[in-house]
Amino acid sequence: MIEVKNINKSFGENHVLNDFSAQFEAGKVNLIIGQSGQGKSVLAKCIVGLMEVDTGSVLYDDRDFSKMNRKERKEIRTEIGMLFQGSALFDSMTVEENIMFPLKMFTKMSKKEMLARANTCLDRVNLTGQNKLLPAECSGGMQKRVAIARAISMNPKYLFCDEPNSGLDPSTSILIDNLIQEITYEYNMTTVVITHDMNSVIEIGDQIVFIHTGRNWWEGTKEEIIKTDNQEIIDFVYASKFMKTLKGKLA
């Protein structure tokens, strides 16, 4: 479980996160949703330590990450997998080398064992036999799947996904969403997904946190978010004509 306690983050006069607190449970897909510019990505970066919080704490299974030194953080980070918005695959490495990279850096596996692990991860994301492709030769959806394979190669306890569906068509988005959900349940990971895609909310959201003006504005399940009368959430969820029409029909 990841616990975020009263974190604040400012850039000069711009207060991005205001006393934000939330809990992200293990074995669940925890979604952080909100409009652009409300602090979703900053929150994710603060949780994984790419940005330092001004005040507050981030606890990974009761281990206070925000108070750890570089060496201690390094240990926690080997338990974290992250899927970036742009996949962030290493251009100069093949698909296989990308997946094997964390294994090379942090395990004492033989090359044969690393290769076997890479193949297992590729099988898991339905990319069997695509080992020798370069990231530039992969489609957007394939790149995301390779990034997921790389993220799970070290059997992480925590998985972060920053806008996993950005730039993907609806069917590929659903594929990626389902993959994230399946591996979360399979490995009992604490998964945190940053998104503003309502399809993802409905598809995979076990626990949803709505961030607004840098605050934890609302928390609940996907069933509850549909029924809520919170005006900010209504404005966010039913922003498109399609959703408004759907809401009208449902009503």
Partner 1 sequence: MSYIVSIGKYVGMMTQVFSKPERFKVYYRRTISEIETIGINSAGIVAILSVFMGAVIALQTASNMDSPLLPKYTIGYITRSSTILEFSPTIISLILAGKVGSNIASEIGTMKVTEQIDALEIMGVNSLSFLVLPKIIAAVFFFPFLIICSMGLSIMGGYYSVTAAGLASHEEFVYGVRAFFKTSDIVYALVKTCVFAFIIVSVSSYFGYYTKGGALDVGKSSTQAVVWSSIVILLANFILTQLILM
Site of interaction with partner 1 (CB under 8 A): 48-50, 73-75, 77-78, 80, 82, 84-86, 88-91, 101-102, 104-106, 154, 160
Nearer to partner 1 (CB atom), residue 29 or residue 154: 154
94 token code pair: 């093949």
Q: Which is nearer to partner 1, 167 or 220 (CB)?
A: 167
Compute the least distance from the CB of residue 62 to partner 1, in Å: 20
- Min dist. Cβ of residue 86 to partner 1 (A): 6
- For residues 172 and 22, give the distance between their C-alpha atoms in angstroms, rounded to a whole number: 30
CA angle 222, 149, 163 (to 5 degrees): 40
Cα 249 to Cα 244: distance, rounded to the nearest angstrom: 9
Question: What tokens does 209 get?
Answer: 């946190």
The distance of closest approach from Cβ of residue 77 to partner 1 in the complex, given in angstroms and rounded to an integer, is 4
- CB 56 within 8 Å of CB 20: yes
Q: How far is the CB of 156 from partner 1 (least distance, A)?
A: 10
Total number of residues shown for the chain: 251
Nearer to partner 1, 75 or 169 (CB): 75
CA distances from 244 to 33, 209, 236 (A): 19, 22, 11
Write down the residue that tokens 């297992």 correspond to: 120
State which residue, 20 or 160, has the beta carbon closest to partner 1.
160
What residues form DSSP beta bridges with 82?
A: 160
Cβ nearer to partner 1, comparing 93 with 243: 93
Q: Least separation, in Å, of the C-beta of 54 and partner 1? A: 20
